[in-house]
Chains A and B, each alone.
Chain A
Amino acid sequence: DVKVTQSSRYLVKRTGEKVFLECVQDMDHENMFWYRQDPGLGLRLIYFSYDVKMKEKGDIPEGYSVSREKKERFSLILESASTNQTSMYLCASGGQPYNEQFFGPGTRLTVL
């Protein structure tokens, strides 16, 4: 059974803190993605990766960085969290660009 897991369902951090969100997939997919989802705005792509140690900026990379040291793991890093980064963060993986993406359960991050 296809599975994408994320390290936390809910997270509360303070402004200026460094935040790590981790995503693990067990499907041997090459492609992994980080999105944020805000009401009325839909899913917005932050970063994606098509291979180990490879990363590409999405539509809204500012304030974020990523790491992909192993094929199954893709981490999103907020170097210095700000209140406008309060959002739902969704990780996804996909075997090919045109195959469906499988999503993790999401992490609801609140930055105070």
Chain B
Amino acid sequence: GQNIDQPTEMTATEGAIVQINCTYQTSGFNGLFWYQQHAGEAPTFLSYNVLDGLEEKGRFSSFLSRSKGYSYLLLKELQMKDSASYLCAGLDSNYQLIWGAGTKLIIKP
């Protein structure tokens, strides 16, 4: 079956670095997405990886290893506004998104 696994909740300190991991099993693979979702709001796109390696976008970076079925989202210089849920989603061979349950990130001062 298809499955996306990510931790339910993580806590980090303002100004620090946090890595949110995601492992995936999909029928075929056409890329991996990360979305951010603040409480009560819609998810917003953060990144898309289809090739192995690290993609950096300001304070946020996303890494993909297709051979390991593994991705992570790295957030640097954490700010209080980064408190949100982070959703990992894999794109399968039918171009359907398979979603993880999301990781709730709590930032403490």
Residues of A43-84 whose CB lies within 8 A of B: 43-45, 48, 58
Interface size on A, residues (CB 8 A): 19
- Complex contact A42–B31 (CB within 8 A): no
Q: Is A90 an interface residue (CB 8 A)?
A: yes
What A residues does B41 contact at CB under 8 A? 105-106
Tally of A-B residue pairs with Cβ under 8 A? Answer: 46
Are the CB atoms of A41 and B48 closer together than 8 Å?
no
Q: Do A42 and B43 have beta carbons less than 8 Å apart?
A: no
Closest Cβ of chain B to A65, distance in Å, is 19
User: Is the beta-carbon distance between B91 and A98 smaller than 8 angstroms?
Assistant: yes
| Cβ of B30 under 8 Å from chain A | yes
Residues of chain B whose beta carbon lies under 8 Å from any beta carbon of chain A: 4, 8, 30-31, 33, 41-45, 48, 50, 87, 89, 91, 95-97, 99-102
A residues near B (Cβ < 8 Å) are: 4, 40-45, 48, 58, 90, 97-98, 100-106
